[in-house]
Amino acid sequence: MGTLNTYREKVLHDYMGGLISKYGTNPDIVAQHVRHPSLTHELIARHQAPKELGLDHEQSIRYAVEQYIKGGSADAHIASTKETVDTLEDLAELQVLVNFDSDGNVVYESESDAVVEEVADPYDDEHFVNELVSGEKVYVWEFMDTLLVDISGLSEASANKVISKVWESRVDDGFFQVKFRYGDRLLEPKNFRVEDIDTIALTEFIKGVVQSDTQAGSRV
């Protein structure tokens, strides 16, 4: 349970960091943009207002934001951040690495790092199921609050094209945290979030990049 709480605190910290980096430390302004379906409740639960105040839901959000900022949690977020991510090198400046074993399972450095995340069932996604039935590789996986993009097997130049394409949809307080699988590594850049992204269109874009990569390789 302690590990799970630590994980949730990290996710909340990253989410609030995106908001504070974009909107500053005025709780009235930041509170207007706290709308994550699960992290909003997490924030309120961690910074509960006294019952005698009789606050409604919106007021509770504002109170929790103010307490979060007063607690000094905002200090780490007030810094300049890189405005663009165009290459794997740019991504490396922001990433956290997770390794995979030969079976495709995540290899954790310690048992305490192995946190089970609640995710949406991908088999509820018709497009995902159709790709599996047709035997096609799945390049874009959409989980509960994570968008995983598989750029394994691509040349560095082609991988950079995909990263840049996804970056076009980036918003600081987006619902989905973007992660990339590149070979045996999982790249988890901080503050790389998207809100509304067409996963089918992104899949088709990646297929086009893969095709170009294959054709270029055959000409070598």
SS3 for 33-71 is CCCCCCHHHHHHHHCCCCHHHCCCHHHHHHHHHHHHHHC
42/87 Cα distance (integer angstroms): 34
Q: Are strands 140-142 and 193-194 parallel, antiparallel or unpaired?
A: unpaired
Q: Measured over all CA atoms, what is the biggest interatomic distance in the chain, rounded to whole angstroms?
A: 73
**127 and 117 in contact (C-beta within 8 Å)?**
no
- Residue 48: alpha-carbon gap to chain centroid: 26
Measured on CA atoms in the order 195, 199, 200, 201, is the torsion positive or negative? positive
**CA distances for 88 relative to 62, 94, 101, 154, 171, angstroms:** 38, 10, 22, 12, 19
Record the pTM. Answer: 0.48
The pLDDT score that the predictor gives to residue 5 is 65
The pLDDT score that the predictor gives to residue 12 is 81
The pLDDT score that the predictor gives to residue 213 is 83
DSSP states along 117-157: PP---GGG-HHHHHHHHHTPPP-EEE-SSEEEEE-TT--HH
The pLDDT score that the predictor gives to residue 33 is 87
The pLDDT score that the predictor gives to residue 29 is 92
Measured on CA atoms in the order 22, 25, 31, 35, is the torsion positive or negative? positive
The pLDDT score that the predictor gives to residue 155 is 87
The pLDDT score that the predictor gives to residue 97 is 43
Residue owning tokens 């055959």? 218
Residue-by-residue pLDDT tens, the chain, 220 positions: 455 566 677 778 878 887 888 788 899 999 998 887 678 888 998 899 998 999 999 999 999 999 998 886 555 454 444 455 555 555 555 444 444 455 545 454 443 343 334 444 444 455 555 555 556 788 898 877 889 999 988 888 898 899 989 999 998 878 888 999 988 888 888 778 898 888 889 999 999 999 988 877 654 3
